[in-house]
Structure formats: C-alpha cells, structure tokens
Structure 1
Amino acid sequence: MQISDLHFSASGGKCISADQIKTCEQDGADLTTKKFLSKAIKEARPDLIVLGGDQLLGKDKTFDTISTLTKIGQFFSGEKVPWTVVFGNHDSDRSLAIEEQMYLFKHMPFFVGKAGPGVPGFEEEGLPAPLTSRISDMGVGNYILQVNASLSDPTQLLSLYFLDSHDYPRRSISQLWDLAMGGNNKFDWIKKSQIEWYKKSSNEQPRILRPYEPSQGYQDRSKLMSNKEKKKPIGLIGALDVRLARGWERRVRVFEVSNFGEKVETFEIKHAIDTQNLPVVRLGSHLLFDSSSDTLTST
C-alpha cells in the first residue's frame, strides 16, 4: 500500500478540502487522516506500507519535527505492518535534516527503510562505497527492498527500488530574482549518480524467463511452431532472441527486471502435498542465459 502527502504536524493539523467530513474540524486533520488510514489498512491487509513523501506539513509550519515524526511512527508501528518511506520536498525541514529523520525512523518498530549509499552515520547498513566522490548529490533514501517467497523460503521474488527525488535545486542569483518577481518554484531531479547506482544494483538482481503457460521445460521452437511462426523472434532484452520456448508463441512472456542484466533464469511450478489444486510457485535454479559465456541452454 502506498500512502502519500500526509502533511502531518505537531498540532492537530489543518483540514483542507474536507467539507464532507463533518468531524474534521472537531477532531483535527491528523486524527481524521489516521482514522481513515486505519480503516483502509484493515480492509487492504497490505504486506508493506510505503509513505511516498511529504510526511510533514512543510517548512516553517512543522515547528516540532521530532514530535511529528513520533506521531507518524507511533501510528504505523501500531498497525504492525512493515513500513518505509521516501522523502518529498516538504520533508526538508530546517529543524531536522532528512538524514536525521531517517535515523529516527530506523529506530521505530516495523520500519524497514534504509538511508542508502553515501549517507554518513549509517554504517550498520553494510552498503558498498558510493560510485562517485560527490556523494552528497545522491540524497537520502536510495535503497532496495527484496521480497522473498515466504518467511521460510528465502527465494527472492521481487526487488523494490526506492529513490530520493530531492526537494529544490540550487538557484543562481538570476533564478532567485525570477522567483522573487513571481516566478514558479521548480523542483529538483534524479541525479546521474542515482541512475548509475540503479544500473549497478539492478545488474546484480536475478533475471527470470517467465512463460505464460507453465510447462515441464523448454523445447526447441522449430519442433513446436509452423514455418510462419518461426520467423517471429521472441526478443529478450539485454541478451539475445530466445530460441527455446514452450507452448504457442503468443503465450510466451518474458519478464525482465532491467536491460542491464547478464543472466536469465527459468521458473517452475511445484505442487504442495501432491495436491493439484494447491500450486506453489518457486523459482528454479536453471540457468538459461549467461552473457559471460554467451550460451543458451535448455532446461
């Protein structure tokens, strides 16, 4: 579940566009929001909650950042669901930097986020050295969360990437003058160092060749398809055209995390307790493509 723009404050908050919620002014915006979120979380039963930025009301308005973050942490920890954050432009508070905010979050129950590479004071994360000497431009909150098959099965099924979108770029004198004369405030952007970090990190994740129709294994396309169908290549990003497949061509699907990878692995279907009605999906260890040797093999 993704939740964005809480705009919490140390006080009760300000009700905005809440004309249909009669109790908002009486209860306060923050309490009204928490009541709504509690109901939504109970109905959705998420495995992970992601706060997508602007947890705080904003600069010069969140006068007690620590109390506000404690309010946020107490609420989401109380839901007993793993949760994490990325930061928005309103979270750049003068009284508490986002590095300090992340440090505070990391000491709250059920929080699973990370500061990411290049952020001093978080050596316990055990991250490698940054890819650039200008580490400050990466920001805070560039990290990966890996989703496993289950609590007892460490098979990695999914990788979730989180990036810091920053707040506002550094302004020149002319830009400051333009802003003072009524110009629009422009937001910052993803940095080159973050893109390089993503490329390197995604390159280390396992790739999966995933057919639409589960099969016992892959077979030569020439034995399965007509001459007309053989002429249609099944493209594989970052590797080469797939020459081995199973089932009809229109039902073959390829799933790739990114096009920077070197390996592609198959998946297979196993059944729990020999019951056909209870399929359990598990990743196989069959290597289909390895760019280091430029080989393509059947499984």
Structure 2
Amino acid sequence: MTRRIVRTGIQLALLSCIVLFLVFFLDNRYRVLPQSIHSHLPLHHEGLVITDITVQTCSTLNPLTKCKLNQDQWHQVGKDLYLGSGWRKAYVHITRKKEEELTDEDKVIIDVRTGKLDPAMGEKSQASDKWESRPCSIWLKRSAKRHASDSKQVITAVDVLFGADAAEPRLGWELVKPGALQLSGGEFKDPRLSIRRGPPHKTDKPPLRIRKDGKFKIMQVSDLHLSTGVGACRDPEPKDANGGHCEADPRTLDFVERVLDEEKPDFVVLSGDQVNGDTAPDAQSAMFKIAALLAEHKKPYAAIFGNHDDEGALSRGAQMSLYEQLPYSYSEAGSNMIEGVGNYYVEILAHGTKHSALTLYFLDTHSYSPDEAHYNGYDWLKPNQINWFKTTASGLKDAHSHYTHTHLNMAFIHIPLPEYTNKENDRVGQWLEGVTAPKFNSGFRDALVEQDVKAVSCGHDHANDYCSLSKNQGTGDPELWMCYAGGSGFGGYGGYGGYHRRLRVFEIDTNQARISTWKRLEYGDIGKRLDEQIIVDLGKVVPLQQQ
C-alpha cells in the first residue's frame, strides 16, 4: 500500500513537471508563452495615468548596480536603451496610478520633451509652466490633478522605439520631440520615447468592399527587410544612385510610397520578412515603419510572416499582437490550435451588398526545416493548417453561392510551394535564383485547387518574380497560377545581374470574374507595368497561350 502511494505521488509529480514544461517552454507556434509575448509590449493598462518618468542605468560589470528600481513604486519599460550592445544597460521606468485614486497633491504628466535645454527657454510660457529635468535629457511638464484641465491630454502610456527614422502608427500615440534620448558611451540606436495621451483608442475595421466600378486592387509587398534604424543597403541597383549613398529603409519606403500614390491600391498584402531579424534588435521599431506608412495613406492591409521576422527580439505571437491593434490592419493570429501564427482569411464584400465577392487566405509557412536530416532547407505547411484551410473554404461555399456574380479566391504565403520548382510549367517573368521551397511536399497545392483557389502568391526568393502555371497532371488543364512578388527591400539581398527591387499588383474585376497582375520597379521603367497578364477570366484559370 505504501509503495503504491509513493508510486502514485511520483507519477503525479512527473505529470506536473510535464504540464509546466508544456505551458512555459513549447515553441511559440502554439503561442503558450504569454510572458514572452508581452515582455516587450508597452505598459498601457486602461485607467492608469503616468505620474513620473525616469531612466535607470546599470552595468553588467558591476554587480552593485541594479537595472530595476523599487518594483513597489516603479514599473520598468522592458527595452534596454542600448539594445544589449555593450556592458551598459539603461531602462525607462514609470510610476503610475489609477485615475480615481489621484489626490489633489498628486501630479500627472501632461507633456514630455527631450533635449539638453529646458523647453521653457524656447517657448512662450507662463511662470507656472515649469519643466522638470530627468536623466537622459528627458523633460516633464507635470500638473496637479486639479490643474489638469483636459484628461485627454494626460500621459497614460510610455514606450520606447529606436532609430532616427522611427515611426509611430498607433492611434493616440506620438513620438516625443525633438529627438533621441541622450546616453553616454557605448553603441546605441537613437532610443526615442513614445507616449499615449488619454485612454486607449479603438481601431475600427469596417468591412472591405469592391469599388463601385466592380474592381479591387491589391498591392503585394514582400521581403521589405526593415531594420532598427535606417539599415544598410545590400546589392543596391544602380550602385551609383545618389552618389553611391544608400540607406536601406528610407529608399525601400520611398519606393513603396511612390507605388501607393501611383497605383492607389484598395488593399496591401505584406507577405513576409517585413523585419530583417539580424539587423532589427527592436523588431517593433522595424515593423512600425511600414505600418505607419500604410496608416498615413489610409491603406487597409494584412500581414503574414517570413523566416526572418522573428529572428530578433519579438516572437511571431508578439508581433501579431501588435499588428492586431494597429489601425488599418486586418491581420489576425488565427486559431492557437493550428501550427503557426497568422492562419486566417479576409472577405472582400461586393459593392452595395453583404455578400463576399473575393476571399483572401493567408497562411504561415514557418521558417526552417524541423527535420534537416531528411528534408534540409525550409519548413512546410502542416496537416492541421491544410485541414483548417479546407474546412474553412468548404464552410464558406454556401454563403459565397448567394453572390450574384462569380466568387473568386486567392491565397498568400511567404515560402514558395514545391510546385514552383517545375521548370516545365509555362511562366511569365524572371527565374534568376534557385527556388528555396521545402523539400517535403505536404500537398497544399492540391488543397488550393480542390477549394477553387485560382492564384497563390509568395515572396522569399527575392530575385524570382515569375507567375508559373500549374496544370492537372492527367489532363493538362490549367488549374492554378503560382506567382512571386519579387523582393522590395534594400535591407535584403538583390544581386543576380543588376536586379531591381519590385513589387506585384493584382487587379480583380468582379464584373468579368477576372484577375490581372503586373509588377512595378523601383528603378528604370518606374511608371511602366511590367509583364502585365490576365491569369483568371470568367472565373477560369487562363492558359499562357491566351495571354
């Protein structure tokens, strides 16, 4: 009896250990790591106001220094201002209090500035408008509660972004001016405070609709490879542009913005590797740059991940948590019962009706092979992802049948499918580098055809920009167009004989059940539509000879 009790106790202890392991150490594709997801997110709890801000500096060489202040009073914003670049560390700390608990003696922050000089010296201010100095050239304007005339102006959240080109896309947030925090010694990437005034702002995401003329334009931007800071150009073309001076991210974003202005898309797809992991120690600052540009132009968008996005400080789950909160973003994490982060779909409704005219599917193609011994290279779409796609698409068919025209389906991924490697397929565009598709074929191409998806488009291989026609192996009938976006970012490789960065545009004409596509270049024939072709017409895949 005693042995049985002991044995049962040991089994229960082992079971507890296994449960703890699953909760805390599983791969982030299942998103069971709430601490890792939120450790880098800003402190912006609703109902709290910020009463003070300071910076605590410490040294990894001196055990007597501490990076955290008294945790009963101060809350640390979890980003090292040096981004781990040396033996120094510095963290922004805040004090906060529930608004209803403020007394008449409490002071709240109503403005923040940065700079060596007292802001009062450069502005017309009353004698009562005094600025308080804090470390790293932070200046605070604080007011007693009874003097805070507009609660919407009170600072309620603080975050840190990095880079001279840092951008803030979140509603109600703003970067503190005029510039970066002042740190001593070491390498750092221009840390900047970002603040939110008032309560959190909700982001409205109204249904997306086909335009009155029956058309809908999608701009696919892939492999931006944005960095923390301006980034360094790789393989710029032409090399002597701007006198040979090239900053990667400004040039990349200028290109994207120019095409936004010229094409005026209704929707933008970010198809992976928005962030260049090894040059983005703060991935949030990198991804915010493209999000801010799209918000400025009021362009709805959806994002999926590539193999480089989560190689920095933020996991896929953490980045998607940010995307989900941003204005104009229709990105979703998807079910946590499915492998990957970002398996979801977006419906585009017909003009003037509640019925879907176009469904866009987005799936996470993961990163590197989990079985290098047998399938070296890159990962593949998993069975439960494919089952989710098939179940979802089948479940939507009844609702789609009520649309008076032909309903169309498209899909977007990052890593190409194995079928992209078939050189016998008819194709339009350039095949300049080896296709780095997964070595294991999990059958997603067949699932796409089965569910009546007419076109799929990917990124990943920067210098490939072709559309390839996949046919039925038995009959030879065209079944699916498989396209590349082409690489758009100067932070990623180019090469391959003077390859110019590019992106892809799809135009859907619901009156004709037609999908057309073309590419736009960063340099050269910048106003020209390159390799324009019709890939779907009257709801059917169009073979190459009919182009």
Provide the rounded CA distance (Å) in 2 between the counterparts of 1:169 and 1:155: 40
Show the counterpart of 1:47: 266
Given the alignment of the two structures, is residue 35 of structure 1 paired with residue 254 of structure 2, yes or no? yes
Instruction: Report what 1:81 is aligned to.
Output: 299
Map 1:141-156 onto structure 2 (within 5 A).
Answer: 141-150=342-351, 152-156=352-356
Kindly indicate whether the alpha-carbon contact (under 8 Å) linking 1:169 and 1:187 is maintained by their aligned counterparts in 2. Answer: yes
Find the partner of 1:161 among 356, 361, 386.
361
CA distance in 2, matches of 1:109, 1:38: 18
The residue type equivalent to 1:145 in the other structure is V
Q: SS at 1:202's partner residue?
A: helix
**Aligned pairs for 1:227-266 within 5 A:** 259=450
SS of 2:396 mapped into structure 1: coil
Aligned pairs for 1:103-252 (under 5 A) are 103-118=321-336, 130=337, 135=338, 138-150=339-351, 152-171=352-371, 175=373, 186-206=377-397, 208=401
Contact preservation (8 Å) 1:15, 1:25 = no
Query: What is the CA-CA distance between 1:24 and the residue it aligns to?
Result: 8.3
Cα distance in 2 for partners of 1:155, 1:210 equals 6
In the alignment, structure 1 residue 70 sits paired with structure 2 residue 280: no
Structure 1 length-normalised TM:
0.58
Contact 2:267–2:301 (CA under 8 A) maintained in structure 1:
yes
2:319 corresponds to: 101
In the alignment, is the contact (CA less than 8 A) between 1:18 and 1:24 conserved in 2? Answer: no
Q: 1:140 deviation in Å?
A: 0.5
Q: Whose radius of gyration is greater, 1 or 2?
A: 2
Q: Which runs of 5+ in 1 are unaligned?
A: 119-129, 179-183, 213-256, 262-279, 282-299
Q: Quick one: percent identity of the two aligned structures?
A: 34
**One-letter amino acid matched to 2:264:** R
1:93, distance to aligned residue in structure 2 (A)? 2.2
| Contact residue 147 and residue 159 of structure 1 kept, 8 A | yes
Higher-strand-fraction structure: 2
2: distance between equivalents of 1:33 and 1:117? 33
What residue in structure 2 maps to residue 56 of structure 1? 275
Question: How far did 1:159 drift?
Answer: 0.9
Gaps of 5+ in 2: 1-218, 406-447, 453-509, 512-547
Distance in 2 between residues matched to 1:25 and 1:117, nearest whole Å? 47
Q: CA contact under 8 A between 1:24 and 1:32: conserved in structure 2?
A: no
Shift of 1:17: 2.5
Q: CA deviation at 1:170?
A: 2.5
1:16 to 234, 242, 260: 234
Change (3 A) 1:170 1:94: farther
Q: How far off is 1:27 after superposition?
A: 5.5
Superposed, 1:255-294 pairs within 5 Å as: 259=450
Q: How many residues matched?
A: 193
2:345 aligned partner, one-letter code: I
Distance 1:28 1:101 in 2: 24
Distance 1:5 1:111, change over 3 A: same
AA aligned opposite 2:363: L
Question: Residue 369 of structure 2 contacts residue 376 of structure 2 at CA under 8 Å; is this kept in 1?
Answer: no
Whether the aligned pair in 2 keeps the contact of 1:15 and 1:24 (CA below 8 Å) is no
